[in-house]
Amino acid sequence: MTVGEVDLKILRMGQNGEGVATLPDGRIVFVAGALPGETVRAEVTEERKTFARARVCSIIDQSPDREPAPCPVFNQCGGCDFQHWRYAAELAYKQAWIGESLARIGHLSDVSIRPIIGAENPYGYRNKGQFPWGTDRGGHPILGLYARGSHRLVQVSSCAIQSGVINRILAVAPGIARELGLSTYQEKVHRGTLRHLLVRSAKDGSGALVALIVKDRDPRLVHLAEALMTAVPEVVGVVENVNVAESNRVLGDQSILLAGRPYFLDTILGQTFRVSTRTFFQVNPYQVEHLYDTVRQAVSKTAREVWDLYAGVGTVACLVAPQVESVRAVEVNASAVKDAIVNAQLNHLDNVRVDAASVEQWLSQKPDTKAVDVIIVDPPRAGLNSQAVHSLNQLAAKQLIYVSCNPDTLARDLNLLRVQYEVEWIQPVDMFPETDHVECCVVLRRPEDRHG
């Protein structure tokens, strides 16, 4: 059935900022830019056997929760999902999404889900930005973000959810590259030097680190680095990262310091942390204090040894260390392991041991399971793999704390972990305002230890 334009009543919000409606033939249709409760005239842009996609042509009946997006390229860029939606409605959607995923995927309908902790300011929070290089119609270097579901670059000189220092770097970098005559990478022909610009910044704006991801080394990159540090004094270092792969992977294996130092220092809950280009560090420095304080307070008061798995730069390990006898942090990323060791030293913690290994490998080596009281896991969006779930069920620690950035994979894993654990409570934290992502801290116990 070819539909063309059709009037649709938007029933609910789907993922990625798409409203969900039903076509006259009963198929689900995902409508980009539409909000729950609205009636819109939409053009069907893609048809499949069981669903379709559409875009809004006009709004017939507008939602009271619709508001103007502050970003001029919001409708073109794929970086945000909800700038057109009142923040309170976004939070309500995320709270409901968690409950629905737990019921539908995890078969958990009676779990205690606490009210989501929203951001005081849903804009200007990100401490990490990753921008592809391209060229404008005149052939001059530009930076931007890809349109959703494509590699079509949308030029961006300022991003509403990025920190001020990142936006200043974003604004000046293309002009410096142009003056130096540097070429930008052309994906189709695998030519050109500048591929991506990656920036990380400290919460208080006191430090920022820039990575120039390039296909080929070029002596002019040193001048680009020096000019960036002069134009934006908060930049403490610039790293060149060489990526020769003909793939979508951003970072390559080789990094060279061009100017300054290859790290900056940031603070969370009174502790100091070293952050480098390649290591994982939460992107919202304001909300992360709510998240990690929740984790810290959730650790059992009787705990003596804690394992922090998928430890990154050891943030959680360091934060819980003062309240227990010992912490073992496990991380596979070599750069993060180095930072985690330094972070324990920076905070004068001699009870944190950092192991360089994949979590699955480390658990399979049968560590001293009798010593552990609490296990903390913070896996990537894909969640725990089957081997890790099996090991955690075998270990059956008294308490398991699961930090997740994906309600769907979280629900799947919680269902699998029911072999040994039951969920005590879940605390959602909106780490990613204006986007279709939400973080959760989940506390699980063995049934016999629930009140212990």
* Rounded (10°) CA dihedral 95, 392, 412, 386: 150
77 is catalytic: no
Percentage of residues in the chain having pLDDT higher than 70? 98
Per the CATH hierarchy, to which homologous superfamily does domain 91-120+268-449 belong? Vaccinia Virus protein VP39 (3.40.50.150)
Residue 173 has pLDDT above 90, yes or no: yes
Give the pLDDT score at 179: 96
Do strands 39-47 and 271-276 pair parallel, antiparallel, or not at all (unpaired)?
unpaired
Residue 371 has pLDDT above 50, yes or no: yes
What pLDDT digit, counting tens, does each position of 7-20 carry? 999 999 998 889 99
Domain 5-66 classification at class level: mainly beta
CA–CA distance, 403 with 447 (Å, rounded to integer): 20
Give the pLDDT score at 411: 96
- CATH 3.40.50.150, domain 128-263, yes or no: no
Q: Enumerate the domain spans of the chain.
A: 5-66, 91-120+268-449, 128-263
What pLDDT digit, counting tens, does each position of 87-124 carry? 999 999 999 999 999 999 999 988 999 999 999 999 99
Do strands 39-47 and 51-61 pair parallel, antiparallel, or not at all (unpaired)?
antiparallel
pTM of the model: 0.92
Q: Is 91-120+268-449 in the same CATH topology as 5-66?
A: no
Average pLDDT value for residue range 376-401: 93
> Of 54-58, 205-209, 247-251, 408-412, where does mean pLDDT reach its minimum?
247-251
DSSP state of 3: -
Residue 251 has pLDDT above 90, yes or no: no
Angle 63-64-67 (CA atoms, 0-180°, nearest 5)? 90
**CB burial readout 243-271, b (16+ within 10 A) else e:** beeeeeeebbeebeebbbebbbebebeeb
User: Which residue of the set 159, 405, 440, 441 is catalytic?
Assistant: 405
Percentage of residues in the chain having pLDDT higher than 90? 81
Give the pLDDT score at 452: 47
420 within 8 A of 413, measured Cβ to Cβ: no
